[in-house]
């Protein structure tokens, strides 16, 4: 017989999934919007294109990361 764990969250609370960000270097025009607005998540790569951290976006930076993606002039940033 198999058993499985069931987690019950308080009413109105949903399970938080880690947020990840990525930059498509083929679309990035190096405008710097993301690097200047969320330097804990975005930085300059050796190719002078923006790059995102490889791990999860820190929870404190999730909103600003999504704003940076929304404001990217070439839609080079994806946030999942």
- CATH of the domain spanning 21-79: 3.30.70.20
Among 79, 19, 28, which residue's Cα sits nearest to residue 55?
A: 19
Residue 55 CA: distances (Å) to CA of 12, 13, 51, 60: 28, 24, 12, 14
Exposed, middle or buried: residue 49 (CB in 10 Å: 0-12, 13-18, 19+)? middle
Give the model's pLDDT for residue 5: 53
The pTM (predicted TM-score) of the whole model is 0.79
Q: What is the pLDDT of residue 13?
A: 57
Each residue's pLDDT tens digit, 27-72: 999 999 999 999 999 999 999 999 999 999 999 999 999 999 999 9
Give the pLDDT band of residue 16 (cuts 50, 70, 90): confident
Residue range 13-37: mean pLDDT, rounded: 92
């Amino acid at each position: 017989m198999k058993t499985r764990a069931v987690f019950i969250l308080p009413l109105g609370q949903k399970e938080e999934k880690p947020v990840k960000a990525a930059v498509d270097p083929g679309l990035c025009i190096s405008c710097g919007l993301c690097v200047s607005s969320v330097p804990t998540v975005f930085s300059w790569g050796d190719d002078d294109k923006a790059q995102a951290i490889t791990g999860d976006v820190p929870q404190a930076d999730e909103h600003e990361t999504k704003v940076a993606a929304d404001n990217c002039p070439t839609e080079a940033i994806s946030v999942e």
